[in-house]
Structure 1
Amino acid sequence: MDELNPSSGDSLSKMSLCGDGEEGDTGPHQTHRPESPMSSCVSMKSDRSMERPPAFSGDSTPCDQSVWTTGTHTAPSGHQNLITNDPTINRSRDTNPDVVLQRVLETHKSSMKRKVEHICEGIINPENQTLLKSIYTELYITEGQSEGVNKEHEVQQIEAAVRIRRQDTPINCNDIFKPSPGQEKHIRIVMTKGVAGIGKTVSVHKFILDWAEGAANQDVDFIFLLPFRGMNLVKDEGYSLHRLLLVFHPELQGLKDTQKYEGCKMIFIFDGLDESRIQLNFHIQEQKLCDVTQTSSVGVVITNLIQGNLLPSALIWITSRPAAANQIPAERISQVTEVRGFNDPQKEEFFRKKIRDETQANKIISHMKTSRSLYIMCHIPVFCWISATVLQEVLPHDDSKEIPRTLTEMFTHFLIIQTNMKNQKYDERSEMDRQKLLQSNKEDLLKLAKLAFNQLEKGNLLFYEEDLRECGIDVTAASVYSGMCTEIFKEESVFQQKKIYCFVHLTIQEFLAAFWVIYCYVSNNMEELETFLTRQKKVSLDDLLKAAIDKSLQSENGHLDLYLRFLLGISLESNQELLQGLLPQTESSSESLQRTSQYIKEKLINQNKPHNVVLTKLSGKKNISTERAMNLLLCLLEMKDSSLHEEIDVLVKSGKNLSPAHCSVLAYMILVSEDVLDEFDLKKYKTDDIGRERLMIAVRNCRTARLGGCNLTASSCKTVAAALQSPDSHLTDLDLSYNEILDSGVKHICVGLEFSCCKLENLRLQRCSLSAVSCSALSSALRSNSHLRLLDLSINNLQDSGVELLSTALRDQHCTLETLQLQCCSLSAGCCSALSSALRSNSSRLRLLDLSNNNLQNSGVELLSTALEDPHCKLETLQLWRCKLSAGCCSALSSALRSNSSCLRILDLSINNLQDSGVKLLSTALEDPHCKLETLLLRRCSLSAGCCSALSSALRSNSSRLRLLDLSYNNLQDSGVELLSTALEDPHCKLKDLLLYDCSFSALSCSALSSALRSNSSRLRLLDLSYNNLQDSGVKLLSTALEDPHCKLENLLLRRCSLSAVSCSALSSALRSNSSHLRLLDLSDNNLQDSGVELLSTALEDPHCKLEKLRTDRGEFVRRR
Structure 2
Amino acid sequence: MATSKDCFQTVHTMHKEALLAHRKQKSEDTSTLLGGQLPNKVVHDNNYIPLMTTGPDVSEKQMQEKPQSFQHAILIALPEDRHQPKPVIVVGPAGVGRTTALEKLIVDWATGKHLQHFSCVFHFTFRDLNAHKGVLSLQALLLQCYSHLCPESLALVLQNPKSLLFLFDGLDQYQHSLEPPTSLTLCSDPQQPASVSMLVASLVHGPLLKGAAILLTSRPTAASLESLDGYRVELLGFLKPQRKAYCERFFSDPIVASQAFENIERTMGFYDFCTSPRFCWTTCSIYKSLMEAGEILPETLTQVFVYITVHLIRALSLDTTNARDLVTSLGRMASHCCLGPDSNCSKEEMASTDVQQFLTTPTSLKDFLHVDGDLESDNCIFSFHTQKIQEFFLAASFYLDESEAVSVEEMLENHEGCVEFLDLYLAGLCEPSQRKPLESELGEFNTDHIMDFSSWFKSTSRKALESYHTDRHLHYFHLLHQRQNEKLVKEIIIPSARGISYGVLGVHDCVSLSYIVTCMGEWDQLNLYSSKDLTEEKANLLVPAIRLSHKIILVQSSLSAGALAHLASALSQGRTTELDMSYNPMGDTGFKVLCTGLGDCNIQTLKLPVCGLTEACCGDLVAVLTSEKSHLRVLELRGNPFHDQGLRKLSHALGSPHCKLQELQLPRCELTGGSMEALSIALCVGQSELRILNLAQNCLTDQGVDWLAKALQYPCCQLQSLILFDNELTAACCAGVAEALQSEGCRLTELDLSVNALGQEGALQLCKALNKPGHPLEKLRLVRCELTPLVFKELGILLSSGTSGLRTLSVGLNKIGDEGAKHLWVALGDKRCSLEHLDVEMIQLTDACVGDLSVAVRASGSLKSLVLKNNHLTDTSVPALVQVMQDSRTMQEMNLQYNDFSEDMFEMMDQCAKIKY
TM-score by structure 2 length? 0.55
Q: Which of 54, 72, 90 is the equivalent residue of 1:142? A: 54
Verify: 1:251 aligned to 2:144, yes or no.
Answer: no
Which residue number corresponds to residue 506 of structure 1?
A: 387
* Alpha-carbon separation, structure 1, partners of 2:190 and 2:46: 38
Aligned-pair CA distance for 1:372: 5.7
Counterpart-to-counterpart distance in 2, 1:108 and 1:228 = 21
1:825 aligned partner, one-letter code: P
Query: Residue in 1 aligned with 2:310?
Result: 416
- Mapped partners of 1:470, 1:375: distance in 2: 34
Counterparts of 1:853 and 1:630 in 2: how far apart (Å)?
43
- Structure 2: distance between partners of 1:185 and 1:390: 48
Gaps of 5+ in 1: 1-92, 148-161, 424-435, 525-537, 610-622, 754-758, 776-789, 796-820, 829-850, 855-878, 884-910, 916-936, 943-965, 970-997, 1001-1121
2:474 matched residue in structure 1 = 630
Mapping 1:1019-1038, distance limit 5 Å: none
Q: CA deviation at 1:259?
A: 7.1
- Could you tell me which residue of structure 2 aligns to residue 339 of structure 1? 235
Range moving further from structure 2, 132-141 or 463-472: 463-472
1:392 maps to 2:288: yes
The answer as to 2:221 corresponding to 1:323 is yes
**1:853 alignment counterpart:** 647
Deviation at 1:500, TM superposition (A): 5.5
Q: 1:48-127 to 2 correspondence within 5 Å? A: 95=5, 97=7, 101=11, 105-106=15-16, 108-111=18-21, 113-114=23-24, 121-122=31-32
Q: Which residue of 2 aligns with 1:825?
A: 641
Post-superposition offset of 1:282: 5.9
Decide which of 448, 455, 458 is 1:598's aligned counterpart: 458
Q: Which residue number corresponds to residue 708 of structure 2?
A: none
Give the deviation of 1:672 after TM superposition.
Answer: 1.1
CA distance in 2, matches of 1:296, 1:711: 64
Tell whether the 8 Å contact from 1:605 to 1:661 is kept in structure 2 after alignment: no
Residues of 1 paired with 2:291 and 2:477: CA distance?
A: 27
What's the offset of the Cα at 1:262?
3.5
Q: Give me the whole-angstrom Cα distance separating, in 1, the residues matched to 2:81 and 2:680.
A: 56
Report what 1:304 is aligned to: 202
Residue 581 and residue 397 in structure 1: after superposition, are their counterparts in 2 closer, same or farther (change >3 A)?
Answer: closer
Give the match's secondary structure for 1:312: coil
CA distance in 2, matches of 1:99, 1:546: 68
**How much has 1:562 moved relative to structure 2?**
1.2
User: Structure 1 residues 644, 583: closer, same or farther in 2, change over 3 A?
Assistant: closer
Counterpart among 539, 555, 559 of residue 405 in structure 2: 539
Residue type at the aligned position of 1:457? L
Alignment check: 8 A CA contact 1:408 1:638 kept: yes
Partner-residue secondary structure (3-state), 1:338: strand
Write the distance in 1 (CA, Å) between the matches of 2:427 and 2:256.
Answer: 31
Q: Is the 8 A contact 1:731 1:760 kept in 2?
A: yes
Q: What's the CA shift for 1:176?
A: 0.5
Report sequence identity in percent: 16
Secondary structure, aligned partner of 2:210: coil
Match of 2:165 among 262, 267, 273: 267
How has the CA–CA distance of structure 1 residues 696 and 186 changed in structure 2, closer, same or farther, with 3 Å as cutoff? closer
Equivalent residues of 1:912, 1:940 under 8 A apart: no
- Show the 5 A alignment for 1:970-1049: none
CA distance in 2, matches of 1:456, 1:791: 57
**Pick aligned residue for 1:702 from 538, 542, 558:** 542
The one-letter amino acid of 1:566's match is: Y
Which of 236, 241, 250 lines up with 1:354 in the alignment?
Answer: 250
Other-structure match for 1:197: 95
Of 101, 106, 109, 1:208 maps to: 106
1:988-1018, Cα deviation, whole Å (9 max, x unpaired) = xxxxxxxxxx9x9xxxxxxxxxxxxxxxxxx
8 A Cα contact 2:29 2:37, kept in partner:
no
Change (3 A) 1:310 1:676: farther
Aligned to 2:129: 231
SS at match of 2:421: helix
CA distances 1:563-615 after superposition (whole Å, capped 9, x unpaired) = 33234444556627724665696444443132121233144225x34xxxxxx
Q: Residues 176 and 761 from structure 1, CA distance in 2 versus in 1: closer, same or farther, beyond 3 angstroms?
A: farther
1:562 maps to amino acid: F
Following superposition, the deviation at residue 101 of structure 1 comes to: 4.6
Aligned partners of 2:90 and 2:232 also within 8 Å: yes
- Quick check: 2:305–2:389 contact (8 Å CA) kept in 1? yes
CA distance in 2, matches of 1:367, 1:578: 21
| Alpha-carbon distance, 1:233 to partner | 3.5
Residues 890-933 of structure 1 deviation map (CA, whole Å, 9 limit, x = unaligned): xxxxxxxxxxxxxxxxxxxxx999x9xxxxxxxxxxxxxxxxxx
Q: What is the Cα deviation at residue 213 of structure 1?
A: 1.0
Q: Residues 540-560 of structure 1: CA distance to partner in whole angstroms, max 9, x if unpaired? A: 5xxx222344466x53xxx51
Find out whether 1:645 has 2:516 as its counterpart: no
2:364 pairs with 1:484:
yes
Flag the 1:792–1:269 CA change in 2: closer, same or farther, 3 A: farther
Distance 1:604 1:296, change over 3 A: farther
Please say if residues 372 and 673 of structure 1, whose CA atoms lie closer than 8 Å, have aligned partners that are also in contact: no
Aligned residues: 626
Once residues 617 and 99 of structure 2 are traced to their aligned partners in structure 1, the CA distance between those partners, rounded to angstroms, is: 42
Structure number with higher relative contact order (C-alpha < 8 Å, ≥ 6 residues apart): 1
Counterpart CA distance in 1 for 2:173 and 2:194 is 21
Secondary structure at the residue paired with 1:186? coil
Question: What is the aligned partner in structure 2 of residue 168 from structure 1?
Answer: 66
Aligned to 1:566: 425
Post-superposition CA distance 1:1021-1070 (Å, at most 9, x none): xxxxxxxxxxxxxxxxxxxxxxxxxxxxxxxxxxxxxxxxxxxxxxxxxx
Instruction: Note the alpha carbon deviations across 1:358-385, whole angstroms, 9 max, x for none.
Output: 5544544454455367787644333333
Distance 1:311 1:241 in 2: 10
| Counterpart Cα distance in 2 of 1:446 and 1:678 | 37
Q: CA deviation at 1:173?
A: 0.3
* SS at 2:610 equivalent: coil
Q: 1:172 to 1:198 in 2, by over 3 A?
A: closer
CA distance in 2, matches of 1:109, 1:585: 52
The amino acid across from 2:308 in the alignment is F
* Aligned residues of 1:192 and 1:318 also touching (Cα < 8 A): yes
The reply on whether 1:451 has 2:366 as its aligned counterpart is no
Judged with a 3 Å threshold, the aligned counterparts in structure 2 of structure 1 residues 515 and 678 are, in CA distance, closer, same or farther, namely closer
Residue 118 of structure 1 contacts residue 131 of structure 1 at CA under 8 Å; is this kept in 2? no
CA contact (8 A) 2:501 2:529 kept: no
Shift of 1:202: 2.0
Is residue 460 of structure 1 aligned with residue 342 of structure 2?
Answer: yes
Secondary structure in 2 matching 1:223: strand
Q: Which amino acid aligns with 1:601?
A: S
Runs of 5+ consecutive residues of structure 2 not aligned to the other structure: 572-577, 599-605, 622-636, 654-672, 689-713, 717-917
- On the 8 A contact 2:465/2:473 being kept in 1, the answer is no
Contact 1:464 1:499 in 2 (8 A): yes
- Matched ranges for 1:763-774 at <5 A: 767-769=608-610
Instruction: Identify the range of structure 1 (355-364 vs 289-298) with the bigger mean alpha-carbon deviation.
Output: 355-364
**d(CA) in 2 for partners of 1:578, 1:121:** 24
Structure 2 distance, partners of 1:449, 1:601, is 26
TM-align CA RMSD: 5.8
1-structure distance, mates of 2:80, 2:154: 40
In structure 1, how many angstroms separate the alpha carbons of the residues matched to 2:120 and 2:304?
A: 44
Pick from 576, 579, 583 the counterpart of residue 741 of structure 1. 583
Deviations 1:3-26 (A, max 9, x none): xxxxxxxxxxxxxxxxxxxxxxxx
After TM superposition, the structure 1 = structure 2 runs for residues 806-821 of structure 1, keeping only pairs within 5 Å, are: none
Aligned to 1:404: 298
